[in-house]
Amino acid sequence: MALVGKKFPNIAVDAMNDLGDTFQVNVFEEAVKNGKKVLLFWYPKDFTFVCPTEILAFQEALPEFEKRNTIVIGASCDTAEVHFAWLNTKKEDGGIEGVTYPLLADTTRNLSSLLDILEVDEVYNEEIDEVLLEGSNVTFRATYLIDEEGKIFHESVNDMPLGRNVHEYLRLIDAYTHVQEKGEVCPANWEEGKDAMEATRDGVADYLKSH
């Protein structure tokens, strides 16, 4: 079920940071109370292969997100303790040392279940007359962009082997901010500094004529 245009779930989840602090993060409140956009990205597991490349890429781009008044938060279903161990493992050993933004530890799977991003199926077993779970029960590579009112304005879900393009999220934030500030809409392949257009028939015609 698409969540774009809806409020992000208003629940708190355990989290860990690079200092070893365990605390709770409510993504909805992070956006609304701080008057900031939030980029929340989910990855399948700590100590895996594609995941550290993404996590470190978001860290490298963190100043660009901060320029755009955007908080970055990572998330998986691993425990806070496993997050901390990974945060203290050197990059050359497959770790993510140097990452400073918080990582959610959705061990209860309450939030990931609400978002419907878990790789899991319910299968009825006739022999024991019970419904069993099949699958990894970890999340796909889901990404959410949330505005200052807690509304989701972008969501995407990648299969596990497919890493994300971090720069695309910067472009989407720029486009949404342009819409917020200018009231114009952003055409295909729009980037900051390029022409946008009015959301009218004439506006589209004028844009297509000049491009």
- Give the model's pLDDT for residue 208: 85
Residue at 1 is within a domain? no
Q: Is the pTM for the entire model greater than 0.95?
A: no
Q: How confident is the model at residue 120 (pLDDT cuts 50, 70, 90)?
A: confident
pLDDT (mean) for 89-112: 97
Q: Which of 164, 181, 201 is the last residue of a domain?
A: 164
Kindly state whether residues 154 and 174 are assigned to the same domain: no
pLDDT (mean) for 84-105: 97
Whether 126 shows a pLDDT value over 80: the answer reads no
- Give the model's pLDDT for residue 204: 83
Kindly state whether residues 78 and 137 are assigned to the same domain: yes
Q: How confident is the model at residue 122 (pLDDT cuts 50, 70, 90)?
A: low
Q: How far apart are CA 42 and CA 55, in angstroms?
A: 10
Kindly state whether residues 178 and 196 are assigned to the same domain: yes
Residue at 6 is within a domain? no
Kindly state whether residues 184 and 211 are assigned to the same domain: yes
* Share above pLDDT 70 across residues of the chain, in percent, rounded to a whole number: 93
Kindly state whether residues 101 and 180 are assigned to the same domain: no
* Share above pLDDT 90 across residues of the chain, in percent, rounded to a whole number: 85
Kindly state whether residues 50 and 128 are assigned to the same domain: yes
Kindly state whether residues 78 and 179 are assigned to the same domain: no
* Catalytic machinery residues: 51
Upper half-sphere CA count for residue 140 (Cβ side, 13 Å): 16
Q: How far apart are CA 128 and CA 152, in angstroms?
A: 41
Q: Which of 164, 184, 201 is the last residue of a domain?
A: 164
C-beta of residue 31 within 8 angstroms of C-beta of residue 69: no
Residue at 2 is within a domain? no
Q: How far apart are CA 189 and CA 19, in angstroms?
A: 39
Q: What is the CATH number of the domain that holds 120?
A: 3.40.30.10
Least confident of 80-84, 112-116, 127-131, 147-151: 127-131
pLDDT (mean) for 174-188: 96
Kindly state whether residues 30 and 128 are assigned to the same domain: yes
Kindly state whether residues 114 and 25 are assigned to the same domain: yes
Kindly state whether residues 55 and 65 are assigned to the same domain: yes
Q: How far apart are CA 194 and CA 28, in angstroms?
A: 31
Segment 12-24, tens digit of pLDDT: 999 999 999 999 9
- Give the model's pLDDT for residue 125: 62
Kindly state whether residues 44 and 112 are assigned to the same domain: yes
Residue at 4 is within a domain? no
- In sign, the C-alpha dihedral spanning 76, 16, 82, 123 is negative
pLDDT (mean) for 173-177: 98
Whether 135 shows a pLDDT value over 60: the answer reads yes
Mapped onto helix, strand or coil, the DSSP state of residue 64 is helix
pLDDT (mean) for 117-126: 75
User: Which is more confident, 127 or 160?
Assistant: 160
Kindly state whether residues 147 and 85 are assigned to the same domain: yes
Domain span at 202: 165-211
- Give the model's pLDDT for residue 38: 98
Residue 78 contacts by C-beta under 8 Å, 6 or more apart in sequence? 45, 46, 86, 105, 107
How many structural domains comprise the chain? 2
Segment 39-48, tens digit of pLDDT: 999 999 999 9
- In sign, the C-alpha dihedral spanning 18, 22, 26, 31 is negative
